[in-house]
Structure 1
Amino acid sequence: MFSCIVLLKRSYGTKLKLTTVFNENVRQMLLREEIKPRKHPGRFNIPIEPLPDDLINSIIISLKDVQLKSVMTNAPLLVNYMHSRHGPVEESEIREKTKQHTVELDKQFYKENMSPEQQVEFEKFIQNRVEKLIAQRTYNWKPINFNNEHVCHQYLLARIAPEYNVLKVIFNEIQKRDPNFAPESLFDFGSGVGTVTMNAQNFWGESLKEYYCVDTSQTMNDLAKLILQNGNPNNEKILPKGLFYRQFLPASPNMKFDLVVSAYSLFELPNIKSRFETLLNLWNKTKKYIVLVEMGTRAGYNLINEARDLILEISSHNNIRSHVFSPCSHEHPCPRYHADDTPCNFEVQYFTPKIGQQTVIKQELFSYLVIKKGKRTESDEQWPRIVRPVLVRSKHSICRMCTSSGKLQEIIFTASKHGKLPYWCARSSKWGDRLPIVINEKKEESE
């Protein structure tokens, strides 16, 4: 729950006052007119743009022998299914539900006077009823069949634009906040149609020498490679140097990569054991950054939060220095997970690809996590992250933020109370940005 006012009354006779301290470097840049408030260093939103023309042309050529009408008709069904998905139910949970239903049904019947034969039949009856109840009340998880070429084409047309733009936003923040980061190697788990490779090329193409892409579907690997070849399977020369496609994680524990990414892949793992083993493997292969992305649904957020807890626990247990780079400004438990029914997610806008349809602007919600190996630098002031749209009102703006103390706070910015520069920075910020302030809490005695 957000605190709705700046002064919070306590039952024991004190008030908690939230005060903000504006970053002095940012203040000086604004005073010297080096930057405008709408372009302060905490801003990460990038202009909404259609997919590059060469990418659109490459997709069209790659699908030249495909029945586009059929693919376009079924693609929304795949998207709806992905947005409605839940994680797989664990065997332990099914066993517990089976036990509960058996006890509940058993109480409904009087069986003391049953003969041994009747009791055997009764047990079969109870077992059948329980199995039906479990089937009716348990989510039937199953992986998407990406070995099916038709499904791969649906996924390509429906998901390339939102996923491309989500990764663009995340990589943009990494590059902006860490301009000296020049990765030489990339590991992409669940590489799909290649949106990670495409974006990594755009941001760090000059330094990258190795792209290691893993996807269990050979059909998807072939499609991603074909798109990078501009639809011509013989066009090997234009592929990035050091590009590899594999169907399995590398067996060698010594292979490490500067940047490790898993985008929209955790949902395809069948249970928590598989997710933990995979995440541990990915973390061990990470030299600098690991990036995890999922749908911005409650289920997607749960997977991201689970991964966050696991990696931080592993790092702490093994004395590995690491910290959450984004979106959190802290390593405390996520304040949304236990105190709020709303998932921690963010929004990106995108143009649908102009392939067999008119292009329109849509929105995509996503949950993500970026963890960086190494100690948090002293220059990182852990600015709060805006976790919901800024409410711009007459002479005030309301920012709802996740702070470095691991709390959700709401501050109403006004020019008179906070100063014109902080006020205009807050007013110009968007959902997902960071505000260049430090929030302090001070207890005051109530009257």
Structure 2
Amino acid sequence: MATQSYVSCVLCQRASVVRKIATIRRLSVAANPQSKPDFLKGEPHKRHPGVTHLKTLRLPEELLMAARSIIHRAQVPQLPDRARKLTNFLWSRKRATEDSTLRKKALSLEKELWEKAMEKGGADLDEQGIADRIHRRVFSELRRTFYHWTPLKYDEELGVVYMAAKLAGGYAAVRRALNEIKKRDPTFAPRSLLDFGSGLGTVAWASHACWSDTLNELVCVDSSGPMNILAERLLKGDDEHAETHIKHIYFRQFLPVSPKVQFDLVTSAFTLSEIPSAPERQEAVLTLWRKTATYLLLVENGTKEGHQMLMEARDTLLQNKDKAVYDTREASLFAPCPHEATCPKLMLASVVPCNFQQMYMPLYGHNSQSEKFSYLIMTRERRQPPEADAQVVWSRLIATPQARTRHVHCRLCCPNGHLEHLVVTTHKHGRDVYRCARNSAWGDQLPLVQHTDDQNDEETTC
């Protein structure tokens, strides 16, 4: 009993000390209001300036009804199975192997096989026969070890399959990316849009949902005639005599010729993966950048391949590889990266893609699904982080925060170019940051206060 009383007394004393320290800190903050940066700007924690995620998205009613009508009329056999197979194919798709890589591997194999043949055959060699066998062996080995990339050619039936597979998810990914621009730059009111690789027109629908009051010119470019026809049918509600739901929208099979014609917003969603070689992708990105007046948005599948293609585009624009300069304003990163250093995920031993997710409702069914995607937003106008403050740094949440009792596990990409695992608590980071962490989601930006005193020497911050 005496031991229990002694332990209870010690615990009470410790609790009293903790309460006194907390009171002193509160009084200190009250006496020095400048020590508490006002990054919330009057907003509640659940809507702090770094929040850009959206709740479960639904297709616009007009688009949903038109898509269901087109699918019902098409009567595509085994549509659910074909849509699932197409989704898996697109998700597992890799970039085409570069010709230089194939040539180097072929020469290496041929040299190795000739050396083995010379060792076995001695002087009596049927060189022509050996050469034929070696060529067949080389081609067989290349086919076995390298990914065989083939372009997708969409006819009307495959377009309907693509609609069933990707319309809702693609719309959700693009809408989530556009919402970041709308939330962080509320003064941006685009009047013109160029969508390269427009497909079913999901970008037009998503951008119309964000800026319907100001957009008065939407140019959709896709080399597939059947896809352009399907996109127009969707806009007309599957009624060829009806007016399009979105006005001033134009479909083209080629980009505008003049390099001096620019658009406020330029987009390309799930299109870089359809370009066979790295030089062609680089030229496409540079061409789109020349036509960008303010923002360029690129979206790809949230796979390792999709992420790496976006990082190639990022490097191309940041390193200013464009030789034909018509607009001298330099490119700067808007999202998702909080820095312009090399992507730290590419430097890991096993490359894990930097991707994000958006919940959405599919064309059919009542259960929500998740679309994983990677995106890149570049701008010609340098932007400050949301509600910029010298005492606050904004880092990107690259995974879902894990809320636990009195602490939150956050995995962050930080402005210093490093990945951090931060455990956010009220004691270390303050109540506001802690509440923001609990109300943030994967893909949001998290504010972290930079302390200059000695109270948090043991704290790890970005």
- Alignment counterpart, residue 359 of structure 2, candidates 341, 346, 349: 349
The amino acid across from 1:223 in the alignment is L
- The alpha-carbon deviation at position 115 of structure 1 amounts to 3.2
Is 1:183 equivalent to 2:167 in the alignment? no
Is 1:266 equivalent to 2:272 in the alignment? yes
- The alpha-carbon deviation at position 255 of structure 1 amounts to 1.4
Describe the superposition over 1:56-107 as per-residue Cα deviations: whole angstroms up to 9, x where unpaired: 2111223342115532231101000001100011000101111222233334
Describe the superposition over 1:242-284 as per-residue Cα deviations: whole angstroms up to 9, x where unpaired: 2110111221112110000000001111111211111111000
* % same residue: 34
**Corresponding residue of 1:397:** 408
Match of 2:415, SS? coil
Is 1:423 equivalent to 2:434 in the alignment? yes
In the TM superposition, what are the counterparts of 1:25-104 in structure 2 within 5 Å? 25-26=38-39, 29=41, 34-104=42-112
In the TM superposition, what are the counterparts of 1:127-206 in structure 2 within 5 Å? 127-146=135-154, 148-206=155-213
Deviates more, 1:430-439 or 1:81-90: 430-439
Which structure exhibits the higher relative contact order, with contacts defined as CA atoms closer than 8 Å and separated by 6 or more residues?
A: 1
Q: Is the 8 Å Cα contact of residues 23 and 437 (structure 1) preserved in structure 2?
A: no
Is 1:385 equivalent to 2:396 in the alignment? yes
Q: Is the 8 Å Cα contact of residues 259 and 287 (structure 1) preserved in structure 2?
A: yes
Counterparts of 1:440 and 1:277, CA distance in 2:
45
Counterparts of 2:322 and 2:196, CA distance in 1:
24
**Corresponding residue of 1:309:** 315
Match of 2:445, SS? coil
Match of 2:421, SS? strand
Counterparts of 2:280 and 2:129, CA distance in 1:
39
Deviates more, 1:332-341 or 1:402-411: 332-341
Tell me the number of residue pairs that the alignment of Structure 1 and Structure 2 aligns: 414
Is 1:223 equivalent to 2:242 in the alignment? no
The amino acid across from 2:91 in the alignment is H
Identify the structure with the greater strand proportion: 1
**Corresponding residue of 2:338:** 329
Counterparts of 1:226 and 1:344, CA distance in 2:
35
**Corresponding residue of 1:12:** none
Q: Is the 8 Å Cα contact of residues 83 and 297 (structure 1) preserved in structure 2?
A: yes
- The alpha-carbon deviation at position 36 of structure 1 amounts to 2.6
**Corresponding residue of 1:3:** none
- The alpha-carbon deviation at position 23 of structure 1 amounts to 7.5
The amino acid across from 1:175 in the alignment is K
Describe the superposition over 1:162-194 as per-residue Cα deviations: whole angstroms up to 9, x where unpaired: 111111111111111101101010000000111
Counterparts of 1:196 and 1:275, CA distance in 2:
20
Q: Is the 8 Å Cα contact of residues 62 and 232 (structure 1) preserved in structure 2?
A: no
Counterparts of 2:451 and 2:417, CA distance in 1:
13
Is 1:376 equivalent to 2:386 in the alignment? no
- Alignment counterpart, residue 122 of structure 1, candidates 119, 130, 133: 130
- The alpha-carbon deviation at position 423 of structure 1 amounts to 1.2
Is 1:362 equivalent to 2:375 in the alignment? no
Counterparts of 1:35 and 1:414, CA distance in 2:
20
The alpha-carbon distance between structure 1 residues 190 and 429, as it changes in their structure 2 partners (threshold 3 A), is same
Match of 1:63, SS? helix
Counterparts of 2:90 and 2:193, CA distance in 1:
26
- The alpha-carbon deviation at position 54 of structure 1 amounts to 2.4
Counterparts of 1:222 and 1:48, CA distance in 2:
29
In the TM superposition, what are the counterparts of 1:224-239 in structure 2 within 5 Å? 224-235=231-242, 237-239=243-245
Q: Is the 8 Å Cα contact of residues 23 and 436 (structure 1) preserved in structure 2?
A: no
- Greater Rg by CA: 2
Deviates more, 1:63-72 or 1:51-60: 63-72
Describe the superposition over 1:183-231 as per-residue Cα deviations: whole angstroms up to 9, x where unpaired: 0100000001111000111111111111010001010000001101011
- The alpha-carbon deviation at position 303 of structure 1 amounts to 0.6
Deviates more, 1:322-331 or 1:105-114: 105-114
The alpha-carbon distance between structure 1 residues 50 and 320, as it changes in their structure 2 partners (threshold 3 A), is closer
The amino acid across from 1:24 in the alignment is P
Counterparts of 1:25 and 1:108, CA distance in 2:
73
In the TM superposition, what are the counterparts of 1:284-299 in structure 2 within 5 Å? 284-299=290-305
Q: Is the 8 Å Cα contact of residues 322 and 376 (structure 1) preserved in structure 2?
A: no
Q: Is the 8 Å Cα contact of residues 199 and 227 (structure 2) preserved in structure 1?
A: yes
- The alpha-carbon deviation at position 43 of structure 1 amounts to 1.0
Is 1:113 equivalent to 2:126 in the alignment? no
- The alpha-carbon deviation at position 125 of structure 1 amounts to 1.1
Match of 2:412, SS? strand
**Corresponding residue of 2:37:** 24
Describe the superposition over 1:308-346 as per-residue Cα deviations: whole angstroms up to 9, x where unpaired: 111111279866323110001111111111235211111
The amino acid across from 2:150 in the alignment is K
**Corresponding residue of 1:244:** 250
Counterparts of 1:135 and 1:438, CA distance in 2:
54
- The alpha-carbon deviation at position 409 of structure 1 amounts to 1.4
Unaligned runs of 5+ residues in structure 2 are 1-33
Match of 2:78, SS? helix
The amino acid across from 2:228 in the alignment is N
Unaligned runs of 5+ residues in structure 1 are 1-20
- The alpha-carbon deviation at position 159 of structure 1 amounts to 0.4
What is the Cα-based RMSD across aligned positions, in Å? 2.4
Counterparts of 1:380 and 1:233, CA distance in 2:
49
TM-score, normalised via structure 1 length? 0.87
- The alpha-carbon deviation at position 438 of structure 1 amounts to 5.0
TM-score, normalised via structure 2 length? 0.84
Describe the superposition over 1:337-393 as per-residue Cα deviations: whole angstroms up to 9, x where unpaired: 123521111111111112xxx332211111100001023348646611011111222
